[in-house]
Chains A and B, each alone.
Chain A
Amino acid sequence: MLLDALLSRRLVVLTGKGGVGKSVVGAAIALAACERRRRVLLVEIKAPVAAAALFAGPGPARREPGPAGREAEVRPGLYTLNLDPAAVMDEYVRRVVKLEILARRVLESPVYHRFFAAAPGLKELMTLGKIMVLEEARARFSHRPLWDLIVLDAPATGHGLQFLKVPLAASAAVPVGPIGHNARRVLALLRDPAKTALVLVAVPEEMAVVEAVQFHRLAAEDMDMRPAAVVLNACHERRFSDDEEAEVLRLTAEGADGTLEPDVPLSAALRAARRQIRRRKLTRFYEARLRRNVDAPLVSLPFLFREALSLDDVRLLAGLLEAA
């Protein structure tokens, strides 16, 4: 259901507070789409740990960013792209200034670097412009879209909405000229619910949920964008029945101890169980709050207790998204 909704669009924009697991959710959506035989491009922006690393195979994710600015096919039909806004800007300069010698001179000038480092919204606009170009790209002969789906892992909220608002600000600040024109085209793409799905990612914690609800409201007010789905990541599922939960509490109150298995003290396991129960309740609570306040389907994904996430974990999450 959820996946059908997402796959009917061209662009999925993931947004949420930092640390909620947007990259992994993005990787899972991309993988699920790929399993449905879609040609998918997963785009990250200057990711410290590129999603590509998740697809690299077993073992912990590598810290090095993927090759900036180039699509890498991480499995058949699934490509990742780690965008570096500075590289996108350079690419643009090269395209506009056709003469390599002149382009290089511009690119090497300190003024260009200083200007680009601080120019308002330029990075965001270039990045979104690049997404638009990717969306519009067509295969040479068939003229079919080059990408069936583009999944964009947008910067964290707070900054996330600012990021999406840049085209709006740019078209207001520069009503005429090419920058305004392009900004309006980007804006039209983002606002088109037939083409773009906004997906809010949160975790069952107060601040993350408050921010998701706030983002939802502001995105509608300021941007006329409504989320297609909310993904609540790192959820704790029910593990103990009501009777068992009561038993855990009773045993705790009694101060019961002994060993469960060799070297596994019962008291520690009871403590762990109470923690699990508390987190499970918090998960429920925040699920309910998100359902009340955000008018979009909610999908819950489990907390994964791992030393490091692997492709198998992405596969697991993709399967859950497929079933949602």
Chain B
Amino acid sequence: MAPRLSPAEALERALVERRILVACGSGGVGKTTTAAALAVRAARSGRRVLVCTIDPSRRLATSLGLNQLSGRPRPIDLSRLAPYPARGGALWAMVLDVKSTFDALVARYTPDAAARARILENRFYRHVSAALAGTHEYMAMEKLLELRADERWDLVVLDTPPTRHALDFLDAPDRLLGFLDTSVLRWFLRPYFVAGRLTLKVATRTGAVALRLADRFLGLQFLQDLSEFFLAFESMYDGFKERATRVHALLRDGSSGFVMVAGPQPLALEEALYFHRRLAEKGMPFVAFVVNRVHLDPARERRARRGVRPALPPGLAARLAETLREQQVLARVERRAVARLEVDTRERPVLVPELEQDVHDLRGLAEFGDLVFGGARARSRPARAAVGR
């Protein structure tokens, strides 16, 4: 049996070998930064990489030191990485434009220009399609198919939307398809459209109640917009479904992988554990946990040297001891939570210590990568390490 790789080595290997890496995690755990740092790392090792973020607050742009990113992939100048070495790779970045991806999808699957216009101009589509629960996630996956097929990149790193629960990303497409399923239409919306006026001639009594309820709640105009949208969509549904099946197959493929990003707090790690289990259930390839902003115990970082303590000004000794105790509490809580995750998943997470500075430029991302993979490539590490010292 081959010796088991360290977590950082497993992640590094994925950066070299896989074609798709999806960074998952709930909001506020440094997911976007991690995705960008992984992309920078892979580009530095010589691969042609695209990092795609979905975040509406455009955090990736900040991380990449750009004022704004657009819906189209843009090359990032790797010479700005200096003094960090890069070996001939290329880095591109983009922000997923949900609306235009949806528009493109409509264009692809509508049979003719009239059908296309019917959807694109539908009031429901215009105002709320981008807000449909799961649209962001669905469009992200849809975009993956397109990007994966593009010859310009060896690796696509996908940052996922900031959801309360990381799992939403996996479930959302199914939910959206469930919503768009024509059976919903058959069930209670179509009679509306066909008659062009309020009619309760539907197949079942429950259908009639649902219809009446919908009218009372949503109003006739909305229902008409909605049923028009559904009718126009009917011809596309099979195409949609077929695409969704392909995305799922792609994500289950061995050339893809999921990187679960989490914070070190007990609750965040409990969620990571749950996600790990769900990934396994869905047969999707797990690559690594990345736990960000880990607070190290200052007393464990270096073995204390014995010596004679110099005299300290009054009060300072007590305040120093208190400061140390506080940070040890934090470190202890996190250490226990990480240990639980290890026991439950049999995976050792990659731990990234809290950084000296926030990451908001390319160099910061490279430094972040060195922290993650530090041991593996100690030589490329600059003298000024970022670990909290």
- Residues on A lying within 8 angstroms of B by beta carbon are 17-20, 46, 48-49, 63, 92-93, 96-97, 102, 105-106, 109, 111-112, 114-115, 117-121, 123, 155-159, 162, 166, 169, 172-180, 205-208, 210-211, 214, 239-240, 243-244, 247-248, 251, 254-261, 264-276, 278, 305-308
Contact = CB atoms under 8 A, between A and B. Distances in A.
A178 B219 contact: yes
B131 interface: yes
Contact of B320 (A18, A254, A269): A269
A18 B27 contact: yes
Interface stretch (B300-308, B338-346, B377-385): B300-308
B137 to A, nearest CB: 11
Of the listed residues B29, B133, B175, the one surrounded by the most CB atoms of chain A closer than 10 A to its CB is B133
Nearest to B359: A206
A275 B132 contact: no
A177 B132 contact: no
Contacts of B254: none
B173 to A, nearest CB: 10
B275 to A, nearest CB: 13
Main secondary structure of the interface of B (DSSP, over half): helix
B172 to A, nearest CB: 9
Interface string B333-370: 10000000000000000000000101110000000000
A265 B127 contact: no
A118 B320 contact: no
Contacts of A255: 305
A214 B332 CA distance: 35
Given A120-B128, A120-B131, A268-B298, A18 B164 contact: yes
Contact of B210 (A112, A159, A172, A266): A112
B222 A179 contact: yes
B213 A106 contact: yes
B279 interface: no
A93 B32 CA distance: 39
A48 B267 contact: yes
A132 to B, nearest CB: 15
A175 B221 contact: yes
A111 B209 CA distance: 12
A205 B320 contact: no
23 contacts: A18-B29, A48-B267, A63-B270, A96-B216, A105-B206, A106-B210, A118-B179, A158-B57, A159-B163, A169-B131, A177-B219, A177-B221, A207-B32, A240-B316, A258-B308, A260-B309, A264-B324, A266-B320, A268-B302, A268-B324, A269-B321, A271-B388, A272-B326
